[in-house]
Structure formats: C-alpha cells, structure tokens
Structure 1
Amino acid sequence: MVRAREPDMTEQLSADDWIQEGLKALAKNGFTALKADPLAKAMGVSRGSFYWHFADLGAFQAAVLKRWREIAAEQIIADVEAAGDEPLQALLRRSFGARLDLERAVRNWAAFDASAQAAVRAIDRRRLDYIEQLLAKRGLAPATAQARAQILYWTFLGFALSGAPVPAARLGALLGELLTMVSA
C-alpha cells in the first residue's frame, strides 16, 4: 500500500499565518514572545516553517509591525470612511470601544526597540493627521484642529495605556463629552 505524501507544514502555513500568530502572541505576552520556537510550538509546526517565510527574526518583526500599522490605522480609517456615520463619532466609538492589548504591547515594545519606536511614531502621525482632517471638515480653523486633534489623541493614548475597562453607558457619555469639547 502506497501512502499519499502528507503536505509539509511549510506548504500549509503562509507568512500571514505566522504574522497573525505573532500579533496574538504580542498582544497576550508582549514582544519577548516574538520568537520562532515558541510561535512554532503554539502553531504545532517546526521552526523550519518560520524560516521558510522569513529570513530572520528581524524580518518577521518588521512584518508584524507593518501589519499592526495596517490594522491599527489604515483599516480603521477605511472602516470609518465606509460606515456612513459621522466620521469623528464613528472613529471615537471604534477607537475607545476596541480591545487595546495590542496597542499597549506595541507601545511597550517601542520602549526597547528602534523599529517598533519608528512604527509607533509613524502610526501616531497618521492618526493625528486623520483626526486633524476630520476636525477641519467640521469647520475648525487649522491651528485649532491641530491642537484639538493632539488633545483628543492624548486622551485616546491615556485610555489605551490605562487598560481599565469602562462600562458601555459610561463610555458613551464620555465620548459625547469628548465630541462636545473638541467640536465647540
């Protein structure tokens, strides 16, 4: 009896699978979890599968940071623009209503790693520019929009880094106040 050859895991897993696992590990255990051996073990494959897709750990970490930037800024902006709601309200609901474990983990990583720090700076700039654009569309003068965007973003960062859950009703009231403050 001839057995069919079972596909090897490097053929079954994509680079995207590794990146997704890396994002989960990063959010749950921090940047020190971004290593081939523990990730391979968690995925039930050999370390060779990792190196099939990434030249080294640095290339993998760069891919994880790139994906974080895509999901933590570009995807959110695209979703807000497509929602049909008032964009600033939609952005606030989305940003303050999300689980922010990954945000905290990447910002912690940035304290120890120049590449992560550069990714955080880039995403901060992108987010600030977008918020400023939304405020300008509401009729605020450029200098006012810029100042209020910064204040609003600092508010988000404080919320994200605090990790303290806020009951939905309370959060809704707080977001209403934020909107009033930045739009007045």
Structure 2
Amino acid sequence: MTAARPKRLTRDDWLSAGAKRLAAAGAEALKAEPMARHMKTTKGSFYWHFKDVPDYHAQILSAWEKAALADLSSVLEGETGAVPRLRALAQSIAEPETGTATESAIRSWATTSAAARATLARVDEARLSALQGLLSETGIGNPEMARIIYAAGIGMERLGQTGTGDNRGSIGSLVDLVLALR
C-alpha cells in the first residue's frame, strides 16, 4: 500500500493561510520559513508561488482589499434608499460578516508597513466616500459626520472582539442620531 500523495498547495492556499496567520500572530509571521512550517511544507513551495516575501505581503494585501471593496459594493447594492443603505453600511463596518480579525491585524500592520498603510487608506477612503455620499443623499452635507460614523464603527468592531454587545444596534442608534440632525 502506498501513502497518499499530499495535496499540492495553491497560491490561494498560501494567501488564505497568510490572512489567518496575520490575524492570529501578526505580520511577523508572514515570512517564508515560518509560513512553510505552519503549512507543513517546504520554502520551495512558497517560492514557487511568490517571488519573495514582499510579493507575498503585497498579494495578501491585494486579496484583502479586493474582498473589502467587494463587501462594500455588496452592502450598497443590497438595500434601496439612502437611509437603509447608510444604516447597512455603518452596521457592516461595526460588525462585519467576515474578515474581522484580518482587518484588525491589517490596521495594526499599517502602523509599521507603508504597503499595508496604503492599502488600508484606499479601503478607508472608499468606505468614507460611500458614507459621505449616502449622508449627502439624506441632506447631511457635513463630511465630519461620515468620519464620526466610520470611526465609531471601527471602534465598535474592535471592541466587539473583546467583549459582548450589540454593535449593529449601537451603530444604528448613532446613525439615527446623525439623521435627526437633518
């Protein structure tokens, strides 16, 4: 009887494992040797899929950015009317369906990595722009309101990782308060 051949790892396997390791252990874990050990394979497999560690980092960030922007589009397309879309967007920031730990880890990574900082800035800008656009549609033109809602949502998301609470309800109440300013 021959042993079963191990499954060949794909680029997506490496990226998925990298996002999980980033969330669990931080950016320092995203090096070829520690990742290969974690995945029970050789560094050769890593270098088969990625030119080098910075390339791996860039591809992890790119995959996260694409997913974050797709989630943003999905939220905006899922509702009709500015108020329901505004509420849904704020709630998705405060209590995302997926990728919470990864986004939090990317926010931490962005304090030391220019590439992570640039990626995060693009996602933040897209979300802030969407919030501002929705607020404008409701008659609120003050751009600071979008920033306040966004900051509260990020804070609630991070708080939700360590405690219990109704982030969706809380951010919904903040949106209602802002809308009462009209």
Q: Shorter-chain-normalised TM-score: which range?
A: 0.7 to 0.9
Q: Paired residue for 1:53?
A: 49
Q: CA RMSD in A?
A: 2.3
Shift in Å, 1:172: 4.2
Q: Is the 8 A contact 2:76 2:89 kept in 1?
A: no
Shift in Å, 1:124: 1.5
Q: Paired residue for 2:164?
A: 166
Q: Paired residue for 2:85?
A: 87
Question: Identity rate of aligned residues, in percent?
Answer: 31
Give the residue type in structure 2 aligned to 1:82.
E
Q: Distance in 1 between matches of 2:17 and 2:48?
A: 16
Aligned: 1:15 with 2:5? no
Q: Paired residue for 2:105?
A: 105
Shift in Å, 1:20: 0.8
2:67 to 48, 68, 71: 71
Moved more, 79-88 or 59-68: 79-88
Q: Distance in 1 between matches of 2:27 and 2:158?
A: 16
Q: Is the 8 A contact 1:23 1:64 kept in 2?
A: yes
The structure with higher relative contact order (CA 8 Å, sep 6+) is 2
Q: Paired residue for 2:145?
A: 148
Q: TM-score, normalised by structure 2?
A: 0.83
Q: Is the 8 A contact 2:22 2:29 kept in 1?
A: yes
Q: Distance in 1 between matches of 2:89 and 2:104?
A: 19
Deviations 1:47-80 (A, max 9, x none): 11110110000000000111111222x1221221
Q: Paired residue for 1:134?
A: 134
Gaps spanning 5+ residues in structure 2: where? none
Deviations 1:102-128 (A, max 9, x none): 222111111111111111222221111
Find the residue that maps to 2:51 and give its secondary structure: coil
Shift in Å, 1:158: 2.3
Deviations 1:121-154 (A, max 9, x none): 222211111111121222323xx1x121011111
Q: Paired residue for 2:115?
A: 115
Give structure 1 regions of 4+ aligned residues with deviation exceeding 3 angstroms. Answer: 160-164
Q: Is the 8 A contact 1:65 1:116 kept in 2?
A: yes
Give the number of equivalent residue pairs. Answer: 173
Q: Distance in 1 between matches of 2:158 and 2:165?
A: 17
Aligned in 2, Cα 1:109/1:96: closer, same or farther, shift over 3 Å? same
Give the residue type in structure 1 aligned to 2:17.
E
Q: Is the 8 A contact 1:103 1:160 kept in 2?
A: no
Q: Distance in 1 between matches of 2:11 and 2:29?
A: 17
Q: Is the 8 A contact 2:93 2:154 kept in 1?
A: no
Find the residue that maps to 1:20 and give its secondary structure: helix
